[in-house]
Amino acid sequence: MPDKIVYFAIISDTHIGPTADFSRHGYEPLPCARRVVEIINNLPTKPDFVIHTGDIVTDPDPISYQLAAEVLSKIEAPIYFVNGNHDTAQDIHKYFVMGPKQDATDDPGVLAYTFEVKGYRFLVLDARGPDEIDPQGLLSEEQLAFVRREATPDGPPLVVFLHYPVWPLNSIWMDKNMLVVNGVDLHQALLPARDRLRAVFYGHVHQAMQTIRDGILYVATASTFAQFAAWPPHAETVFDADYPPAYSFVHLMPEQTIIHQHTFPRK
């Protein structure tokens, strides 16, 4: 058991576009991305790393990625990325420099890797499925085998990151459109590591949510610029105009895990 504390920040769904004034869902993503970078760089407790849980850009074009790289490279900590349904693994490899890691595959079309910080182990999965099922996710058998190799009963404390939610969220439109299709298979692969698995973090749903299943905690991080609403009767995509941009800050401690959500003004 590590005797040190790891702090990390999670940002998600920045959806940066090709211009500074690009707007999505009535909001401009870029000013929010710049603001969250400024906030993270001035936190009273410096994170050991920052991770972006996917949808860095809105459309995977070079101009958007160049703009995103310009902004996110200003984060004063090692940064890691998860492949979102608006991203491609090839573009993330091309435009971003990540912290020290060990790739799980040499396939440039897959972004899956591990890294370690202060005795804690972190596992990043790529659940981006074929375009015909977008915005749902799908884990390949190779990804599931990767999880099974990592999720053994013995080992250091483990944290998992992916872009998509694993379990239904009791919201009609989200459960129809947003999940990992084979999330049950992922859960079964993770169960052997339940006693050392601190949490599974994801984005995609533009909302802060927590689900506990068989003792495993699944945690969504809200978007840095615009949030979905997810009430049970919602059958269509709905945005929550009252929910501001947000990020998460996580404390991994030897005996417990603390997760804070922080919001910030849009301007």
Residue 202 is predicted with a pLDDT of: 98
Residue 2 is predicted with a pLDDT of: 86
Q: How many degrees, rounded to 5, is the angle at CA 219 between CA 238 and CA 91?
A: 75
Q: What 3-state class would DSSP assign to 31? A: helix
Q: Write out the E strands in 108-180.
A: 113-117, 120-124, 158-161
Cβ atoms of 166 and 125 within 8 Å: the answer is no
Q: Which residues 6+ apart lie within 8 Å of 31 measured at CB?
A: 266, 267
Which residues of the chain fall below pLDDT 70? none
Residue 139 DSSP class: -
Cβ atoms of 200 and 160 within 8 Å: the answer is yes
Cβ atoms of 91 and 67 within 8 Å: the answer is no
CATH, domain range 6-263: 3.60.21.10
- In the chain, where are the structural domains located? 6-263
Residue 145 is predicted with a pLDDT of: 98
Residue 152, Cβ density class (10 Å: 0-12 exposed, 13-18 middle, ≥19 buried): exposed
Look up tokens 């849009």; give the residue.
Answer: 266
Counts for the chain of helices (H) and strands (E), in that order: 6, 12
Sign of the Cα pseudo-torsion (237, 67, 222, 164, in order): positive
Residue 43 is predicted with a pLDDT of: 98
Strand-by-strand arrangement of the 209-213 sheet: 102-103, 113-117, 120-124, 158-161, 197-202, 216-220, 209-213
Residue 1 is predicted with a pLDDT of: 74
Q: Does residue 168 have a cis peptide bond before it, meaning omega lies within 30 degrees of 0?
A: no
Provide the residue type at 163 as one letter: H
How far does Cα 56 stand from its chain's mean position?
10
Q: What 3-state class would DSSP assign to 7? A: strand
